[in-house]
């Protein structure tokens, strides 16, 4: 059903799809495994066997589906993206009771999804007194979750930003703020680059991908960067960055170059998809104690996604085939205030000197725990930062005209 | 299985339950979407994979190909002990020539290849002739591939694969032999040359590597390299190498770091395995016209392999972790080396770079052909091998009393 106004939506995976999944799970053929390797070679076999058995016999998707439907108001809406026609965009839209709440667009990444916002939505929309309130829009990116996928090549960061921006306009938010990690961070920054000042009024991210400082371009900054010693904490984060670069980028290279080849196994094999995503849930978080239900809830969004799991991989290809240094994705942003929350187990550490190239980076907050999926792992920390950034006395206080987040405007 | 020093004759016989399991999975296949007009830009095209899956489901007969392989390739298994890894049962093809003094030759495949790659060159190498030498040929399934057992512990690297190869040849009575390989076969034969040159007396490869000569190690080569411009073929090769080391490298990054994670979808999804391998069969060859039967047979060897497809990817992890590519780049100077250059190999190494690999006595450059030389260009590859080892060749008589010719036909030295 196409519509330029939001249409109420409830997840309702067809019973046939659930049965098909069960048939596949029953037919799972497992690989062998070397002795005693634990996580060295990838996801351990014992974990996969346990999860597949549970997925087949005990796990209840309908429980999770019902929970999402009852807890989070979901909608779909048609958004026209230049050159790509109409994409039907699925999203959660939770308004605060506070009419002056700040409209905020939360963008997930890969292998994230719209329900990464599940824990922060109630905190943002229903704060204690003294803290600002937000109206939260948590969308499924095009190609992810229950949104349409683009059908043609070239749906790059600018297009993602266009879709997100037009979504907010279509929901009646001419001015809004953005938040994201992973691809959501890049999308949020691109929204600020393209629509900052007039529409997008502030950016908050929990991850930064930056070009390294080039001595030829920024000689003084480069000197500063190489001559400033790292703290113990920074050294740990740099070590993690190096590990990620050396051992953690296989998925990144394959998805940037041959996403279609990879997509057959992920679309066809539940355990294949489970392993591919679960590895990131394990390696990218700060020892987050995922329950089996949480893992399967998460992977099920990919398994049952509207366009299939393969479509989600293409965000890498569309954005990494051209050099970010040339496609503008690392240009500094000066039009709006930028806030950055630093979590110790994030994948990529950006030095203080390098952060000077972000642009108008006016708020930073460091934490002692938490990893890549900050909204899911450390919701109070992330929300605390957003409240500081956007609240009274914060660097992004009152950026949206008339919507400060407080009751008595 | 009882360990045995003797060869067991072997015929591939995939069980009915495995065939049935595959059929069940093919019936349950769920395909991904695809962008409009994507062609090959994003990877294996959907229509190709769907066509191959449909044929695999009904039309393609594994039993027919299984029988053909068994009828064509004389196969055996043998227990080989590997220091620190126990005993591995190794599957191999062994075809003796009618020429008594034939040169024993070990053919080593790579990934995603198999012992099947020897099929076309086998009758050529073992043929008897007055003009060119004949060979006794052994083509093993590497541990973890085809119908060989896989190692169970970590750390099974190039020198372990080489140990298996060397012990196999010795136990077959070939205390001296020559080796030929591409892909992992190149790296494993390098390890053979480094560690077992008492037995492995010469190496030929169709995938030479090497780095630019450094003055400190190879002053003469360095000067040659500095003064002699790259040929047109070498320059064209740089573009090919750049493709492989850039957008063509994803599979290797994954297999070198998280092979187990990838292994679940390769083991569980026939379409996933098919797409993963098919992409290489197309991108790594020089416009080779694969038939659907060829593709499905190659993939079926992986699908029905004794240890499963995941085991085949671990060699990338082991070699990367132990940095063994660097180790085997050191020159081998005490045995002759030969290289055949094909323009669509993955990395087209300039000759001056490959000469840093040691005692290079034979070089041959071709105008066509890719990574799977034995399968794409069998006569050309065999011609090169015959030239290298035949009368007047630079590695002629590298094994005393094994000239490749019958008694009474002494090689002209």
- Bridge pairing between strands A74-81 and B75-82: unpaired
- Token output for B116: 């099947």
Q: Which long-range contacts (CB under 8 A, 24 or more apart) does A127-131 make?
A: A127/A387, A127/A405, A131/A387, A131/A391, A131/A405
The residues of chain A scoring below 50 in pLDDT are: 1
**Residue A31 in contact with partner chain B when CB distance is under 8 A:** yes
Closest partner CB to B254 (pick from A152, A250, A267): A250
Looking at beta carbons, which residues of chain A come within 8 Å of B24? Answer: 27
Closest partner CB to A31 (pick from B258, B264, B272): B264
Give the pLDDT confidence score for residue B342 in this predicted structure: 96
* CA nearest to B318 within chain A: A41
**Residue B376 in contact with partner chain A when CB distance is under 8 A:** no
Cβ distance A32 to B307 less than 8 Å, yes or no, reads: yes
Cβ distance A31 to B260 less than 8 Å, yes or no, reads: yes
Instruction: Report in angstroms the alpha-carbon separations of B87 from A67, B82, B134, B151.
Output: 54, 6, 32, 9
CA distance B328 to chain A (A): 21
* Three-state secondary-structure class, residue A169: helix
Q: What are φ and ψ of residue B207, in 5° steps?
A: -135, 65
- Token output for B166: 């060397």
**Residue A268 in contact with partner chain B when CB distance is under 8 A:** yes
Catalytic choice (A78, A182, A286, A297): A182
Q: What region, left, alpha or beta, does residue B24 occupy, with left being phi > 0 and alpha being psi -120 to 50 degrees?
A: alpha
Cβ distance A272 to B265 less than 8 Å, yes or no, reads: yes
CA distance A201 to chain B (A): 34
Residues forming a β-bridge with A359: A333
**CATH architecture assignment, domain A65-214+324-390:** 3-Layer(aba) Sandwich (3.40)
Closest partner CB to B269 (pick from A33, A249, A272): A272
Closest partner CB to A32 (pick from B30, B41, B150): B150
Cβ distance A254 to B251 less than 8 Å, yes or no, reads: yes
Burial class (CB within 10 angstroms; exposed 0-12, middle 13-18, buried 19+) of B24: middle
* Three-state secondary-structure class, residue B205: strand
Cβ distance A260 to B46 less than 8 Å, yes or no, reads: yes
Could you please state the CATH topology (level 3) that the domain comprising B1-413 is classified under: Rossmann fold (3.40.50)
How far apart, in whole angstroms, are the C-alpha atoms of residue B297 and residue B295?
A: 5
Dihedral angle computed from the Cα positions of residues B367, B370, B372 and B374, in that order, rounded to the nearest 10 degrees: 0
Catalytic choice (A113, A165, A199, A372): A372
Interface of A with B in 115-154 (CB under 8 A): 149-153
Contact B75, B93 (CB under 8 A): yes
**Residue A13 in contact with partner chain B when CB distance is under 8 A:** no
Interface of B with A in 17-46 (CB under 8 A): 21, 24-25, 28-38, 41-46
Catalytic choice (A176, A316, A363, A406): A316
Beta strands in B342-410 (DSSP E): 358-365
Domains of chain B, by residue range, sit at 1-413
Q: Taken in order B237, B238, B243, B249, is the CA torsion positive or negative?
A: positive
- Token output for B313: 């990817």
Give the pLDDT confidence score for residue B6 in this predicted structure: 66
Q: CB-based contacts of B44: which residues, under 8 Å, 6+ apart? A: A258, A260, A261, A264, B274, B275, B278, B279, B282
Cβ distance A255 to B250 less than 8 Å, yes or no, reads: yes
Please identify every residue of B annotated as catalytic.
Answer: 183, 316, 371
Number of DSSP helices (H) and strands (E) in chain B, helices first:
17, 9
- Scanning A96-178, the segments in alpha helix (DSSP H) are 120-125, 157-170
Interface of B with A in 232-271 (CB under 8 A): 246-251, 253-271
pTM given for the model: 0.96
Q: For chain A, how many residues are written? A: 409
How far apart, in whole angstroms, are the C-alpha atoms of residue A376 and residue A373?
A: 6
Q: CB-based contacts of B345: which residues, under 8 Å, 6+ apart? A: B182, B206, B207, B237, B240, B369, B370, B371, B373
* CA nearest to B317 within chain A: A41
Cβ distance A279 to B310 less than 8 Å, yes or no, reads: no
Q: CB-based contacts of B20: which residues, under 8 Å, 6+ apart? A: none
Cis check for the bond before B349: say yes or no (omega within 30 of 0).
Answer: no
Q: What are φ and ψ of residue B31, in 5° steps?
A: -90, 155
**Residue B129 in contact with partner chain A when CB distance is under 8 A:** no
Contact B353, B210 (CB under 8 A): yes
Contact B241, B376 (CB under 8 A): no
* CA nearest to B272 within chain A: A265
- Per-residue pLDDT tens digits for A23-63: 999 999 999 999 999 999 999 999 999 999 999 999 999 99
Instruction: Report in angstroms the alpha-carbon separations of B35 from A89, A260, B41, B274.
Output: 18, 9, 10, 20
Q: Which of B28, B30, B39, B323 to mutate to test the interface with A (most CBs of A within 10 A)?
A: B30
CA distance B249 to chain A (A): 7
As a whole number of angstroms, the longest Cα–Cα distance in chain A is 64
10 Å Cβ neighbour count for B292?
Answer: 15
Contact A72, A137 (CB under 8 A): no
Interface of B with A in 143-172 (CB under 8 A): 150-154
Give the pLDDT confidence score for residue A324 in this predicted structure: 67
How far apart, in whole angstroms, are the C-alpha atoms of residue A104 and residue A200?
A: 10
Residues forming a β-bridge with A349: none
- Token output for A292: 């089996």
Looking at beta carbons, which residues of chain B come within 8 Å of A274? Answer: 264
Residue tagged 């009904």 (tokens): B58
Cβ distance A42 to B258 less than 8 Å, yes or no, reads: yes
CA distance A376 to chain B (A): 23
Closest partner CB to B33 (pick from A153, A273, A307): A307
Contact A120, A383 (CB under 8 A): yes
Give the pLDDT confidence score for residue A268 in this predicted structure: 98
Domains of chain A, by residue range, sit at 15-61+244-319, 65-214+324-390
Instruction: Report in angstroms the alpha-carbon separations of A361 from A14, A354, B177, B220.
Output: 46, 11, 67, 56
How far apart, in whole angstroms, are the C-alpha atoms of residue A75 and residue A91?
A: 5
Contact A296, A54 (CB under 8 A): yes
Instruction: Tell me the pLDDT of chain A averaged across its residues.
Output: 95
* Three-state secondary-structure class, residue A237: helix
Instruction: Report in angstroms the alpha-carbon separations of B212 from A41, B182, B235, B353, B355.
Output: 32, 20, 14, 5, 9
Q: Which of A20, A262, A283 to mutate to test the interface with B (most CBs of B within 10 A)?
A: A262
DSSP run (H or E) holding B190: helix B184-195
Closest partner CB to A258 (pick from B43, B153, B271): B43
* CA nearest to A25 within chain B: B268
Looking at beta carbons, which residues of chain A come within 8 Å of B154? Answer: 34-37, 40-41
**Residue A17 in contact with partner chain B when CB distance is under 8 A:** no
- Tens of pLDDT along chain B (413 residues) come to 444 456 789 999 999 999 999 999 999 999 999 999 999 999 999 999 999 999 999 999 999 999 999 999 999 999 999 999 999 999 999 999 999 999 999 999 999 999 999 999 999 999 999 999 999 999 999 999 999 999 999 999 999 999 999 999 999 999 999 999 999 999 999 999 999 999 999 999 999 999 888 888 888 888 888 888 888 888 889 999 999 999 999 999 999 999 999 999 999 999 999 999 999 999 999 999 999 999 999 999 999 999 999 999 999 999 999 999 999 999 999 999 999 999 999 999 999 999 999 999 999 999 999 999 999 999 999 999 999 999 999 999 999 999 999 965 455 54
Dihedral angle computed from the Cα positions of residues B358, B362, B367 and B371, in that order, rounded to the nearest 10 degrees: -50
Closest CA to A133 of A175, A107, A99: A99
Q: What region, left, alpha or beta, does residue B140 occupy, with left being phi > 0 and alpha being psi -120 to 50 degrees?
A: beta
């Amino acid at each position: 059903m196409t519509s330029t106004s939001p249409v109420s939506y409830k997840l309702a995976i067809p019973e046939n799809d659930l049965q098909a999944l069960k048939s596949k799970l029953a037919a799972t053929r497992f690989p062998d495994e070397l002795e005693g390797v634990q996580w060295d070679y990838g996801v351990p076999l014992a974990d996969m066997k346990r999860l597949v058995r549970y997925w087949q016999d005990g796990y209840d998707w309908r429980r999770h589906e019902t929970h999402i439907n009852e807890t989070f108001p979901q909608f779909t809406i048609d958004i026209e993206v230049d050159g790509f026609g109409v994409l039907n965009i699925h999203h959660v839209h939770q308004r605060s009771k506070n009419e002056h709440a700040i409209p905020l667009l939360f963008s997930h990444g890969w292998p994230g999804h719209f329900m990464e916002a599940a824990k922060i939505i109630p905190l943002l929309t229903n704060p204690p007194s003294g803290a600002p309130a937000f109206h939260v829009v948590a969308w499924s990116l095009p190609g992810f979750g229950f949104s349409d996928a683009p059908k043609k090549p070239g749906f790059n960061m600018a297009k993602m930003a266009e879709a997100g921006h037009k979504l907010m306009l279509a929901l009646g938010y001419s001015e809004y703020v953005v938040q994201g990690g992973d691809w959501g961070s890049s999308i949020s920054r691109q929204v600020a680059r393209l629509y900052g000042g007039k529409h997008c009024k502030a950016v908050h991210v929990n991850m930064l991908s930056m070009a390294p400082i080039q001595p030829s371009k920024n000689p003084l900054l480069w000197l500063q960067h190489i001559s400033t010693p790292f703290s113990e904490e920074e050294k740990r984060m740099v070590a993690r960055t190096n590990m990620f670069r050396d051992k953690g980028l296989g998925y990144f290279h394959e998805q940037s170059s041959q996403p279609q080849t990879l997509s057959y196994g992920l679309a066809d094999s539940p355990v294949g998809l489970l392993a591919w995503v679960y590895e990131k849930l394990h390696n990218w978080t700060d020892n987050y104690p995922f329950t089996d239900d949480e893992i399967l809830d998460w992977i099920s969004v990919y398994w049952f996604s509207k366009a299939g799991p393969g479509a989600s991989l293409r965000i890498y290809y569309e954005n990494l085939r051209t050099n970010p240094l040339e496609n503008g994705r690392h240009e500094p942003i000066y039009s709006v205030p930028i806030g950055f929350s630093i979590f110790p187990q994030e994948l990529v550490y950006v030095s203080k000197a390098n952060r000077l190239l972000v642009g108008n980076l006016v708020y930073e907050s460091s934490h002692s725990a938490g990893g890549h999926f900050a909204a899911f792992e450390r919701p109070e920390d992330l929300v605390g930062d957003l409240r500081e950034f956007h609240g009274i006395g914060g660097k992004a206080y009152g950026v949206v005209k008339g919507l400060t987040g407080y009751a008595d405007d | 299985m009882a360990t045995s020093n003797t060869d067991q004759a072997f015929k591939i016989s995939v069980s009915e339950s495995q065939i049935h399991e595959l059929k069940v999975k093919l019936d349950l296949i769920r395909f991904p979407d695809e962008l409009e007009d994507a062609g090959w830009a994003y990877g294996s095209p959907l229509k190709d994979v769907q066509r191959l899956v449909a044929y695999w489901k009904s039309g393609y007969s594994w039993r027919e190909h299984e029988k053909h392989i068994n009828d064509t390739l004389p196969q055996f298994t043998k227990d080989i002990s590997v220091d620190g890894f126990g005993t591995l049962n190794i599957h191999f093809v062994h075809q003796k020539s009618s020429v008594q003094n034939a040169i024993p030759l070990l053919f080593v495949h790579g990934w995603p290849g198999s012992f099947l790659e020897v099929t076309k060159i086998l009758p050529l190498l073992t043929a008897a002739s007055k003009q060119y030498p004949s060979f006794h040929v052994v083509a093993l399934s590497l541990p973890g591939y085809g119908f060989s057992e896989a190692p169970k512990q970590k750390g099974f690297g190039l020198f372990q694969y080489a140990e298996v190869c060397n012990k196999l040849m010795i136990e077959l009575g070939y205390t001296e032999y020559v080796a030929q390989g591409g892909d992992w076969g190149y790296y494993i034969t390098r390890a053979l040359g480094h560690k077992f040159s008492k037995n492995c007396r010469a190496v030929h490869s169709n995938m030479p590597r090497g780095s630019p000569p450094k003055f400190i190690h190879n002053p003469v080569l360095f000067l040659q390299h500095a003064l002699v411009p790259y040929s047109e073929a070498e320059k064209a090769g740089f573009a090919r190498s750049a493709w492989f080391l850039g957008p063509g490298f994803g599979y290797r990054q994954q297999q070198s770091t998280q092979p187990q994670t990838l292994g679940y979808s390769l083991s569980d999804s026939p379409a996933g395995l098919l797409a993963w391998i098919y992409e290489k069969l197309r991108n790594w060859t020089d416009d080779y016209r694969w038939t659907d039967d060829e593709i499905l047979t190659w993939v079926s060897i992986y699908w029905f392999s004794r240890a499963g497809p995941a085991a085949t990817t671990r060699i990338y992890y082991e070699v990367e972790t132990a940095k063994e590519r660097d180790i085997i780049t050191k020159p081998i100077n005490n045995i002759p080396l030969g290289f055949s250059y094909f323009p669509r190999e993955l990395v087209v190494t300039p000759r001056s770079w490959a000469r840093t690999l040691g005692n290079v006595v034979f070089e041959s450059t071709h105008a066509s052909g890719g990574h799977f030389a034995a399968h794409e260009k069998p006569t050309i590859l065999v011609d090169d091998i015959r030239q290298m080892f035949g009368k007047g060749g630079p590695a002629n008589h590298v094994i005393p009393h094994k000239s490749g010719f019958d008694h009474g036909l002494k090689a002209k030295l």
